[in-house]
Every structure is written in structure tokens, then in C-alpha cells.
């Protein structure tokens, strides 16, 4: 049997740094699924055509219509139910109507009556992580805490410090290798519950233990850790922190006890559970992809750009491979339409003239060498009444020239050629109409002209009037197209 590749998609809203926290779980999933001999990839926001897509962070926003073209399994890492995370009803509905993985048995009853259909995946020892080479007693950080802060956690940390241990808090969001370096320099990591539901934060703890740093965690009645954590974590009951800090953590015997717990964690191999999940994922994807529409996709939304603001459900085009667009396409060059394009993310694509409802170009036009050709291609692709939404730096702001790749600055009059003077560009049957013009400040909020850093412009494709066509025939170098009259039959 030939298996489909596995693609892990981390949802990251624009500039939302906390999505980087899903990298730990994504890497662990990649490690486990690679053990079954399939290609496994990780990407930000991008789904993969024809693959098994495992989506992390869908509670941050996911268009359910994307399931019509992709096989998606959503990995819920939120604490659901009373006392847990506040999630939207849209996210609950997404989980209730989709294939789902979960990390805790307490979650599925809060989004589906069919809890037996939700594979539970735990996190264990990650051998691909390089453990700390520093002896525990030589590490400069006493107790490290990272995560969101609330009053409950603040009180517990104060209680620990009153008992004689120093707790180091990370200043701001820190994830990935930079945070892992601090974990390796810590004698222990402190784990305490944020939510009243008190489900064990194994998605965080497995990373610390795999890096060779012990974890000290509170344990309440609702804290039900997976078996690989039972003997691997220092457990502290409610109210027991002063005694633990004084009688265990601050003693000479802590290092030896910690080493035993770290070794115990390495003894657990979770491959069996992941093998079951892998079979589930492959079967789910095969059945789902048989049901959805086949053949080329005809997109009706075009995003000119990619990179950090990639948009799922749109066709994202760019001239730079490093931006990871769906397709490489230079609309500043002459193009012939229609075009059949191929993409790993969206599959076969038919880009048709007159089929696009909306084009979005954010800070693109100031980079394009041949802007008339670029705008002409956009006009051709749009349907009648279709919109082109543009954001560009305002000419009199410092932002207009701070980027060394800018080749022009733009102002209020930059749109007249695409609207009133369309015939200068050789256009005849259609032109743009300026529908909206807004000045934006540095935070992209509407403002007056004096405070403008950017401009937001909406252009609408509309047919030219008879009077406008007469003006075009009058003003163009030729007559706007005259038949050669070769047919003399009759």
C-alpha cells in the first residue's frame, strides 16, 4: 500500500508570536510519523494538496470550507470544557464535524458524542533534541518558568520564592531554540496549571524532559498525566510547595533523584499509539479525498504576495521562492491567459481571465518595475465588478523609502491613469474605478493626510462607457482597433 505524505500545518495569524509554541509538538509529530517511512513536512499556514494535513492551532481561525479541497485532521491542544480555555463556538463546530486528534481524554466529550472516534496522542521522549551537557548543580538558573501569567500562578511562584528558591520568568514570548537554550541552563522547570481544569501540560513538559532538564509540577485531583510522566516528573500536591522546596529541591540529593527521573522518561516508546493514529489518518484522508471535487481549482481570490501574510483559500502568487507562494508568477511581465499552473499546496490551478472576484496587493506596487503591465494583468483577471484592494506607503512618509527595494513612491494622484486616463495604457473595453481611498497611520488605522504613513485604495473593474471609448479612440495613437476588412465575400 502506498501511503500519502503527512503535512503538519501550524496556524499563525499575522504577527501572532505565540503560534511558535506549536513547533515543539509539530516536530514530535514529524519524528513519530517519519518512523513509518513517509515524507513529513511542516509549514506555517500552508496546507498541502493530496496529503494528510494535521492542523495545529485551528482555534486561532480556520475556514471550514478548506476541507472541501484538503484532507485535514485537527490536533486539539486546548483544554476544553468547564474551567478550561475559552474557545469559539466555530472551533467547537469544526472539531465536531472533522477528523480530530487530542492529547487528553478529558477534552473530546466537550466537542463530540463520539469520543471513541478521537485518537489520543501523547508526547514522550524526543531523541532528536540535544540534552544539556551541563551538570545540574552547575546550571545558573534555579527554577525556570515560562508560559502565560495569571494571579493563580503568580501566588504559587511567590510561595516557592518565599521557601528559598529563585524563579526565573521569561521576559516576553520566547519559543524554539532560544527558549530551549534557557531550559538547558536550568536546574528544573516549574509547571503549574493555568486553568481550573488542571489538565497536565504534557505538550510543554515532554520538551523539557527531553532536553535533560527535570520538571517540578503541581498535581491536583484533576491532573491525570500519561504513564510516561508518572515516574519522570517531581509531583507536588496542593499546599506542598514549601516542604518540597526545602526538603528536596534545595538539597544535595535533588540532582541524583532528577537523573533517575530523566532516565525513566527515556524508557517509554509511544510508537504503538502513533502507529494506530497513522493508520487512522491514512484511511481518513483516502476516504475524504475520494469524496471531494477533483480537477483543477479555479480561484476567485488572488493574493499578490505570500511570506508572512500567506492566505489560505486564496491563490498566493509571488516572484520570490523564499516567500513560499502557491505559485511563482510575475504579473509585471506580459502573460497569456488562461494559464494552467501546478502547485504543491493547491494542486492544479486554472487561472482564468474574468474569473477573479478579489485581488489583494499589500505593499507590492512600490516594488514592481513595469506597473502598467502589472495593473493590466490584474484588470484582465478580474471579473466585471471585481475589486482590487491595495495598500502602499504614502509618498510623504518616511515609510515610503525605508525599504531599499522600493522603486517608486505613491500619492493621491497615482491612480488616475488606471481610472480616468485608462486609454494612456492602451486599455479600451474596461478600466478601474476608484471606489475608496483611505489614509492610514503607522498602525494601519485610518487617519488624516497629515499623519499618513500608508494609503489603502480599492479599485473596481468596470466597462467603459461609449463616451469613454470615443475618448480612447481620440487620444490613442491608433484608432483603438479597426477591422482589416479582409472578408469580401458576398
Question: What is the SS3 assignment for 343?
Answer: strand
Report the C-alpha gap between 381 and 355 in whole angstroms: 6
Tell me the residue range of the domain where 261 lies: 136-266
pLDDT of residue 481: 76
Is residue 373 within a helix (H) or strand (E), and if so which, with residue range? helix 371-381
Are both 43 and 145 inside the same structural domain?
no
Domain contains 128: no
Q: How does pLDDT run along the chain (490 residues), one tens digit per residue? A: 689 999 999 999 999 999 999 999 999 999 999 999 999 999 999 999 999 999 999 999 999 999 999 999 999 999 998 888 889 999 999 999 999 999 999 999 999 999 999 999 999 999 999 999 999 999 999 999 988 888 888 899 999 999 999 999 987 889 999 999 999 999 999 998 877 777 788 989 999 999 999 999 998 887 889 999 999 999 999 889 999 999 999 999 999 999 999 999 999 999 999 999 999 999 999 999 998 867 899 999 999 988 889 999 999 999 999 999 999 999 999 999 999 999 999 999 999 999 999 999 999 999 999 999 999 999 999 999 999 999 999 998 887 777 888 888 899 999 999 999 999 999 999 999 999 999 999 999 999 999 999 999 999 999 999 999 999 999 888 887 777 777 656 5
Are both 84 and 167 inside the same structural domain?
no
Are both 343 and 309 inside the same structural domain?
yes
Phi/psi of residue 265, nearest 5 degrees: -65, -35
Report the C-alpha gap between 392 and 364 in whole angstroms: 7
Are both 278 and 310 inside the same structural domain?
no
Are both 424 and 321 inside the same structural domain?
yes
Domain contains 129: no
Are both 58 and 189 inside the same structural domain?
no
Q: Are 205 and 261 in contact (CB under 8 A)?
A: no
Nearby residues of 472 by Cβ (< 8 Å), 6 or more positions away: 422, 423, 427, 428, 464, 480
Domain of 174, CATH number, reads 3.40.50.2000
Report the C-alpha gap between 278 and 272 in whole angstroms: 10
Are both 392 and 417 inside the same structural domain?
yes
Domain contains 480: no
Q: What angle do CA 139, 145, 148 make, to 5 degrees?
A: 160
> 349 pairs with which residues across the strands?
297, 341
Rama region for 340: left / alpha / beta (φ>0; ψ in -120 to 50; rest): beta
Q: Where are the beta strands (DSSP E) in 229-330?
A: 234-237, 301-304, 315-318, 327-328
414 alpha carbon, distance to own chain's centre: 34
Q: Residue 110's CB: how many other CB atoms inside 10 A?
A: 19
Are both 62 and 198 inside the same structural domain?
no
Domain contains 131: no
Take residue 283 and report the three cell numbers written for it: 484511511
Domain of 313, CATH number, reads 3.40.50.150
Are both 310 and 331 inside the same structural domain?
yes
| Residue of 178, 176, 251, 263 whose CA lies nearest to 214 | 263
Q: Residue 361's CB: how many other CB atoms inside 10 A?
A: 21
Are both 109 and 148 inside the same structural domain?
no
Q: Are 280 and 71 in contact (CB under 8 A)?
A: no
Q: What is the CA radius of gyration of the chain?
A: 29
Domain contains 250: yes
Domain contains 294: no
Number of domains in the chain: 3
Are both 207 and 187 inside the same structural domain?
yes
Classify the C-alpha dihedral 70-76-81-87 as positive or negative: negative
Domain contains 144: yes
pTM over 0.85: yes
| Residue of 179, 158, 193, 178 whose CA lies nearest to 83 | 193
Are both 468 and 325 inside the same structural domain?
yes
Report the C-alpha gap between 363 and 365 in whole angstroms: 6
Report the C-alpha gap between 388 and 382 in whole angstroms: 8
Domain of 10, CATH number, reads 3.40.50
Report the C-alpha gap between 142 and 186 in whole angstroms: 6
Q: Residue 204's CB: how many other CB atoms inside 10 A?
A: 18
Domain contains 130: no
Amino acid at each position: 500500500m502506498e501511503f500519502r505524505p503527512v503535512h503538519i500545518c501550524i496556524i499563525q495569524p499575522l504577527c501572532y508570536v505565540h503560534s511558535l509554541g506549536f513547533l515543539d509538538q509539530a516536530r514530535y509529530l514529524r519524528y513519530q510519523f517519519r518512523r513509518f517511512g513517509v515524507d513529513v513536512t511542516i509549514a506555517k499556514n500552508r496546507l498541502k494538496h493530496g496529503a494528510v494535513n494535521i492542523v495545529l492551532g485551528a482555534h486561532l481561525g480556520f475556514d471550514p470550507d478548506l476541507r472541501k479541497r484538503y484532507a485535514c485532521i485537527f490536533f486539539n491542544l486546548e483544554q476544553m470544557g468547564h474551567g478550561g480555555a475559552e474557545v469559539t463556538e466555530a472551533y467547537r463546530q469544526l472539531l465536531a464535524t472533522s477528523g480530530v486528534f487530542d492529547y487528553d481524554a478529558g477534552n473530546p466529550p466537550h466537542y463530540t458524542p463520539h469520543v471513541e472516534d478521537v485518537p489520543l496522542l501523547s508526547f514522550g521522549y524526543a531523541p532528536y533534541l540535544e540534552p544539556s551537557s551541563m551538570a545540574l548543580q552547575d546550571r545558573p538558573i534555579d527554577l525556570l518558568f515560562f508560559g502565560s501569567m495569571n494571579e493563580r500562578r503568580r501566588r504559587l511562584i511567590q510561595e516557592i520564592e518565599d521557601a528559598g528558591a529563585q524563579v526565573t520568568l521569561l521576559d516576553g514570548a520566547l519559543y524554539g531554540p532560544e527558549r530551549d537554550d534557557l531550559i538547558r541552563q536550568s536546574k528544573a522547570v516549574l509547571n503549574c496549571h493555568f486553568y481550573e481544569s488542571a489538565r497536565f501540560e504534557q505538550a510543554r513538559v515532554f520538551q523539557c524532559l527531553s532536553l535533560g532538564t527535570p520538571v517540578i509540577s503541581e498535581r491536583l485531583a484533576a491532573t491525570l498525566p500519561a504513564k510516561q510522566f508518572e515516574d519522570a516528573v517531581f509531583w507536588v500536591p496542593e499546599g506542598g510547595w514549601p516542604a518540597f522546596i526545602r526538603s528536596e529541591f534545595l538539597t544535595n540529593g535533588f540532582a541524583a533523584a532528577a537523573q533517575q527521573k530523566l532516565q525513566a522518561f527515556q524508557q517509554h516508546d509511544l510508537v504503538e499509539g502513533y502507529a494506530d493514529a497513522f493508520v487512522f489518518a491514512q484511511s481518513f484522508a483516502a476516504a475524504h479525498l475520494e469524496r471531494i471535487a477533483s480537477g483543477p481549482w479555479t480561484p476567485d481570490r488572488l493574493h499578490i504576495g505570500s511570506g508572512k501574510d500567506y492566505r489560505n483559500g486564496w491563490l498566493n502568487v509571488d516572484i520570490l521562492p523564499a516567500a513560499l507562494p502557491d505559485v511563482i508568477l510575475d504579473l509585471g511581465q506580459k502573460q497569456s491567459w488562461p494559464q494552467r499552473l501546478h502547485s504543491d499546496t493547491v494542486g492544479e490551478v486554472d487561472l482564468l481571465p474574468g474569473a477573479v472576484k478579489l485581488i489583494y496587493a499589500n505593499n507590492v506596487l512600490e516594488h514592481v518595475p513595469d506597473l502598467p503591465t502589472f495593473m493590466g494583468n490584474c484588470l484582465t483577471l478580474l471579473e466585471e465588478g471585481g475589486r482590487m484592494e491595495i495598500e502602499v506607503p504614502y509618498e510623504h512618509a518616511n515609510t515610503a523609502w525605508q525599504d531599499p527595494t522600493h522603486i517608486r513612491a505613491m500619492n493621491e494622484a497615482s491612480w488616475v491613469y488606471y481610472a480616468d486616463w485608462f486609454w494612456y495604457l492602451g486599455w479600451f473595453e474596461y478600466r478601474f474605478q476608484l471606489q475608496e481611498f483611505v489614509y492610514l497611520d503607522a498602525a494601519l488605522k485610518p487617519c488624516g493626510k497629515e499623519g499618513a504613513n500608508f494609503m489603502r485604495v480599492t479599485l473596481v473593474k468596470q466597462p467603459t462607457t461609449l463616451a469613454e471609448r470615443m475618448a480612447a479612440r481620440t487620444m490613442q495613437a491608433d484608432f483603438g482597433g479597426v477591422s482589416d476588412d479582409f472578408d469580401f465575400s458576398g
